[in-house]
């Protein structure tokens, strides 16, 4: 379908197209459609823009990623469908590690996702983990959902998990890892369990995250540690909820 650029919901419709395409290609599980819809709802409530509150978590996340010794970006079908290029850009600014980590894990879907990154793997731009080497197990998760790569999530100190589920976030935190999540729902278990939660839309916040990672590479460790230590995730989530509540109260229906 050709969506006219003048359409008031152009961006949103374009994302829907990408999500549907990914379903047709076998990259996305059907439940990914529902997850996307939940995200859209919260984005509507937030006003479909990056708030100053989210920007604070983006900066803290960038500082944590630059400080990390072994960061890994975990991807699922939705993330690949919407933001593959920016995930690659961010990985290239870090150590190049991307790990496929699916809620509904099937060999077929993993292979299809791997194929999406074929060019970047061949060029040596990234390392795609979690497909042929998912032979370690996250404790406290059922066997299929807990399979991870030793070089990737299993030994990572910081894991970026766009659109993750709460159980897995909690299990990663219990392993002693720092978890950065991107989740439009400030009430989700993921949002509440993460070390840093970016309550923003994935494709909107990734370019900002990349920008700050690039910028922060010029900062000292002390400066970066200050940024991370001055950030309070619970406080940030509370402010986000208040922002949504105030915004809804101020909206006029005519
Ligand atoms: P939890 O287990 O953390 O309570 P959940 O059951 O709501 O979460 P899922 O349905 O597995 O989680 O995940 C979808 C989450 O991803 C939702 O919270 C949704 O708001 C969020 N989400 C969906 N699309 C996007 C997007 N494009 N950008 C940011 N967040 C998104």
Residue 85 to residues 42, 118, 152: CA-CA distances in angstroms?
Answer: 24, 13, 20
Position 143 scores a pLDDT of 76
Domain boundaries, the chain: 52-248
Q: Nearest 5 degrees, angle CA 24-CA 25-CA 29?
A: 70
- For 29-47, the pLDDT digits (tens) are 999 999 999 999 999 999 9
| 189 among annotated binding-site residues | yes
Q: Does residue 1 register a pLDDT over 80?
A: no
- For 102-143, the pLDDT digits (tens) are 988 899 999 999 999 999 999 999 999 999 999 999 998 887
- For 154-169, the pLDDT digits (tens) are 999 999 999 888 899 9
Mean pLDDT computed over every residue of the chain: 95
Position 7 scores a pLDDT of 82
Position 145 scores a pLDDT of 82
Residue closest by Cα to atom 16 of ligand 1: 163
d(CA 128, CA 120): 9
pLDDT band at 252 (very low <50, low <70, confident <90, very high): confident
pLDDT band at 253 (very low <50, low <70, confident <90, very high): confident
Position 2 scores a pLDDT of 76
pLDDT band at 10 (very low <50, low <70, confident <90, very high): confident
φ and ψ at residue 113, rounded to 5 degrees: -65, -40
CA atoms in the 13 A half-sphere facing the CB of 254: 2
Residue closest by Cα to atom 22 of ligand 1: 39
**Binding-site residues, ligand 1, Cβ < 6 A:** 35-36, 38-39, 42, 78, 82, 163, 165-166, 182-185, 188-190, 201-202
Q: Beta strand pairing status for 136-137 and 147-148?
A: antiparallel
Q: Of ligand 1's atoms, which has the minimum distance to the CA of residue 41?
A: 20
Q: What spatial distance separates the first Cα and last Cα of the chain, rounded to whole Å?
A: 32
Position 9 scores a pLDDT of 83
Closest CA relative to residue 137, chosen from 121, 127, 125, 149: 149
| 204 among annotated binding-site residues | no
Question: Please, are residues 97 and 127 in contact by the beta-carbon 8 Å criterion?
Answer: yes
Question: Please, are residues 129 and 121 in contact by the beta-carbon 8 Å criterion?
Answer: no
What would the two tokens of residue 213 be? 């990672």
Average pLDDT over residues 80-107: 95
Average pLDDT over residues 51-59: 98
- For 162-199, the pLDDT digits (tens) are 988 889 999 999 999 999 999 999 999 999 999 999 99
| 218 among annotated binding-site residues | no
Residue closest by Cα to atom 6 of ligand 1: 165
Architecture in CATH of 52-248: 3-Layer(aba) Sandwich (3.40)
């Amino acid at each position: 379908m050709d969506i006219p650029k003048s359409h008031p919901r152009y961006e949103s419709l374009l994302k829907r197209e990408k999500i549907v395409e990914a379903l047709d290609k076998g990259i996305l599980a059907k439940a990914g459609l529902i997850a996307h819809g939940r995200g859209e709802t919260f984005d509507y409530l937030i006003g479909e823009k990056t708030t100053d509150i989210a920007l604070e978590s983006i900066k803290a996340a960038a500082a944590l990623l630059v400080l990390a010794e072994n960061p890994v970006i975990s991807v699922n079908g939705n993330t690949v469908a919407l933001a593959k290029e920016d995930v690659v850009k961010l990985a290239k600014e870090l150590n190049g590690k991307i790990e496929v980590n699916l809620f509904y894990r099937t060999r077929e879907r993993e292979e299809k996702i791997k194929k999406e990154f074929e060019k970047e793997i061949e060029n040596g731009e990234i390392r795609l983990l979690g497909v042929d080497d998912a032979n370690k197990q996250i404790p406290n998760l059922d066997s299929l959902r807990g399979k991870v790569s030793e070089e990737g999530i299993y030994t990572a100190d910081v894991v970026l998990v766009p659109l993750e589920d709460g159980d897995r976030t909690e299990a990663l935190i219990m392993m002693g890892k720092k978890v950065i999540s991107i989740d439009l729902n400030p009430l989700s278990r993921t949002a509440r369990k993460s070390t840093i939660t970016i309550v923003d839309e994935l494709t909107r916040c990734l370019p900002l995250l990349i920008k700050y990672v690039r910028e922060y590479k010029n900062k000292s460790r002390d400066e970066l540690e200050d940024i991370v230590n001055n950030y309070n995730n619970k406080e940030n989530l509370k402010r986000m909820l208040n922002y949504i509540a105030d915004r809804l109260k101020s909206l006029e229906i005519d």
